[in-house]
Amino acid sequence: MSTSLIVVLVVLVVLGFLVVSIYNRLVSLRNRYKNAFAQIDVQLKRRYDLIPNLVETAKAYLAHERGTLEAVIMARNQAHGAMQAAAANPGQATAMAGLAGAEGMLSGALGRLFALVENYPDLKANQNMMQLTEELTSTENKVAFARQAFNDTVMTYNTYRESFPQNMFAGAFGFERAALLEFDGSEFREAPKVQF
């Protein structure tokens, strides 16, 4: 065997190991951000489960505010559908934008509900209402932490994917850029303030 053939074979083997290493790292990082989205999914499902109980508790006190209560339930259902679509393909830009928009609408509807609750001292003092709003506030905080963890893992994935020499192989292997999950409403930038 000639020396040049050996050198070519060694270069090909090293290149092969490099490509396999890049592929495996991309798979690992993609799985990490998908797992991080699963944590958001858990917290949002908890939030969606709390909202009907909150509305049911408020219903007796806010009978003449039926439109607000229905708006909360409608926004909750839309957000739940958007979350399911995003869970099917975490990191996809349209799914993340749809979820962010639906969550913004839900947060706005909840904000209007809490503004109404302020006008009803008996409802504010109701034990179920106090417990539900405390759980909802806690869940909002958990959503914010899970969203931050998701965005951090997406950033790590995107940075690795766009760095040289990974950028030469990522597209060929089908590794697309992942989108961050950014909520527009200020409700998610800070914990909601509920006072009783």
Taking CA atoms, 188 is separated from 19, 91, 163, 176, 184, in Å, by 40, 19, 31, 27, 8
Q: Which CATH superfamily is domain 37-188 in?
A: LemA-like domain (1.20.1440.20)
Distance of CA 176 to the CA centre of its chain: 18
pTM, entire model: 0.81
Residue 187 confidence (pLDDT) above 50: no
Section 153-181 average pLDDT:
94
- From CA 113, how far away is CA 71, in angstroms rounded? 9
pLDDT in tens, 87-137: 999 999 999 999 999 999 999 999 999 888 888 888 878 888 888 889 998
Taking CA atoms, 45 is separated from 27, 150, 168, in Å, by 27, 16, 38
Least confident of 7-21, 137-151, 173-187: 173-187
Residue 190 confidence (pLDDT) above 70: no
Supply φ then ψ for residue 43, to 5 degrees. Answer: -70, -40
pLDDT in tens, 32-49: 999 999 999 999 999 999
- Region for residue 180 given its phi and psi (left: phi exceeds 0; alpha: psi -120 to 50; beta: otherwise): beta
Residue 170 belongs to what H/E stretch? Answer: helix 166-170
C-beta of residue 38 within 8 angstroms of C-beta of residue 88: no
Domain boundaries, the chain: 37-188
